[in-house]
Structure 1
Amino acid sequence: MIDTNIVELTKETKNLIIKGHTQLFPVVRIPLGELQYNKLNGRIATWISEYLSNNDKFPEEIEKANMIIEGFMEESNPDLLKKTKTNIELFDQQESAVVLKNGIIVDGNRRFTALRQLSREGKGQKFSYIKAVLLDSDDYTEKEIKTFELNLQHAKEERVGYNPIDRLVDIYRDLITENAPFSPAEYAREVASTEKVVQQEMEVSQLMIDYLEYIGHPLMFHIVRKQKLDGPLREAHRILKSKKIEAENIEDARDVIFASIASFDGDVTRKIRDMKKVVQDSKMLNEVVTELDDTLDDIDAHFHEPDTSTVPGNNIVDVPINQKNKVIEITSKFAERKKLTSAKRAPIESLKRCLDRVNDVDSDAVVRMNSDDIDEFSEYIIRIQEQLDSLKGLTNVD
């Protein structure tokens, strides 16, 4: 707990929305040594995941844990931290943080990081303190504290910078886990969004969870961050949500897409997008699965062998080169074949659209047209008929 005897009251106050209404709180100065980062902070969720995958647990000593998390804060967004640090050095801390009386920072981790570094660099005694609102955690439930955090993170335009994967991890924790504190409707209200958007984010987050299970590393979110899979996962979500994929083909489509995500290099999002029409075509999807049958089995076996599914040291997914090349070869072949087929059918699709437009013409409106409009209308009919005659001649159809 923070030693309140060394906390200094300032003349500043800060309005906070908590428990559903705005309250005015006094701002105090707290020595940095009294504070600790929140290990559940969404901005560093994937970094915490990576650390725990390589270590049994976090150090119990607060300063050791703080130094580790400070490194995460810097790595997660070095440019923004540098900007915050420069601003505080020039103009002092302008915006107050929010801290619980147990010393955990609820809001202001980047400011805390900047002040810690300025203090260590000997920039002045004033940087050894943080200005903050001090909340008693006994006065609020965990859900109320989390709601407060969501309000803070979404209430102001400048509160951005979440890695998109860290955002999906937050969605998972807040909405999908067994004891998730929020319903989609509640969450949408707190982040000023819609329930439909939140439901969609939940589906993408669940797809992330499914992918990690597929590669044999459940809940190791840092792997998804290092692969930069926000774009590919969202593309995969759009494909798998398509009504053109029959229910009995969803699992096959998902396995092919997951194997592709793990195997592809370069612009993975575009390459997954190129597979859309392949997996939506039942016959072609079946051909892909048939040609990749043994390869998909081998990949699944590899992913579920202990300590073999990632490259040591960087946690990037490691698909054996033979299986990787096979996935790339087969999926690329069928994607190109689908593009060629689509190109061959392009004239037919154009005529279908033209017919739809012609069917939209209101015959009653034609009857009521004046003479000038009739002349123009007739001219278009003649030009269209000439073009159709020309196309008909190319097909040798009588």
Structure 2
Amino acid sequence: MRLTHPGGSTVHLAYCTNVHAAEDLAGVVGQLDRFAVPVREELGVDLLGLGLWLAEPVASALAADRGLRLGLRRELAARGLEAVTLNGFPYQAFQAPVVKHDVYYPDWTDRRRLRYTLELAAILADLLPDGAERGSISTLPLAWREPWTSDNADSARKLLSELSGGLAGYGGRIRVAFEPEPGCVVETTTQAVTALSDVDTDYLGVCLDLAHLACAWEDPAQAVARLDAAGIPIVKVQVSAALEIADPAANLDTLAEYAEPRFLHQTRSAAGAAFDDLPEALASGAPGPWRIHFHAPLHAAPLPPLTTSVPVLRQALAVLMESPACDHLEVETYTWGVLPDAARPVDDAGLARGIAAELAFARDELHALGVS
């Protein structure tokens, strides 16, 4: 959706398609009719933005054939869809039965990550709709934190320099955003400032995922001010919410319903305890409150005593929309398929309704901030 900031600029709101499994172009196009069009119709809008996730085999095929890229653009336009942002964090197989640490590979020490990201840039340059000022691509925060040596850092630095060089060919129209995430080399905005201190900020910046921000127990205003003071642009925002629990010890059975085998659910306590996955946290006895990296549907509160970090989301959006500091917003709840049974959609229509409800929630939050 295209919204208008009180200052007159366009704010793009999309939903991320990494919630759907597709490893080829036919699967990507098939998702448009199965999910994206029903979401658009449920919202009652003429134009819906997608944060497309294109697995590496799809990206490779599209990058090699401009005819395919223009064909995908036509498929989007024919359905009232558009893409100004791509999610380039997962490389492939993101909805496999077990993902866990695999999502962080290849990382930014591996030339395959550079090649994939530049493929996405070539694709996005041809997908950008008329009137869109620029496009964005989110990517992983360099790597999982272990192992990470000075040699790893040097390798990544060289690849980021090559990335900037490749993006320069698009005249500033395509930017790449590194997404701080719990457990990674870059987990916080403070670490982002250090890691990106010597990059070309005309082309590279940060993707601020609001669930990750909450899990790091960062104050949104301070985080945005920190990046601004360092001259690091917020290229993209993922409008997401983490699970939160005040007293985990009294609610282990409820929390265990979210300890599923597909994704990592890094858990952080307000006191600084850190766990790489929810089962580890459950066994720890660490006192709460906890925030858990489990992207919860924005519009639907979980059953008490669980809550979500939506209050952090609201604080962050209020700060981000002041300027605005960012004009690419993506709802990224990729966990619909691993929710507890009572909250999980039972069919395609149910998933489309849930995604539409999240987008409506995000739109209403932006409306409350004067973004119409």
Structure showing greater relative contact order (alpha-carbon pairs closer than 8 Å, 6 or more residues apart): 2
- Could you state the TM-score of these two structures normalised by the residue count of structure 2? 0.28
TM-score scaled by structure 1? 0.27
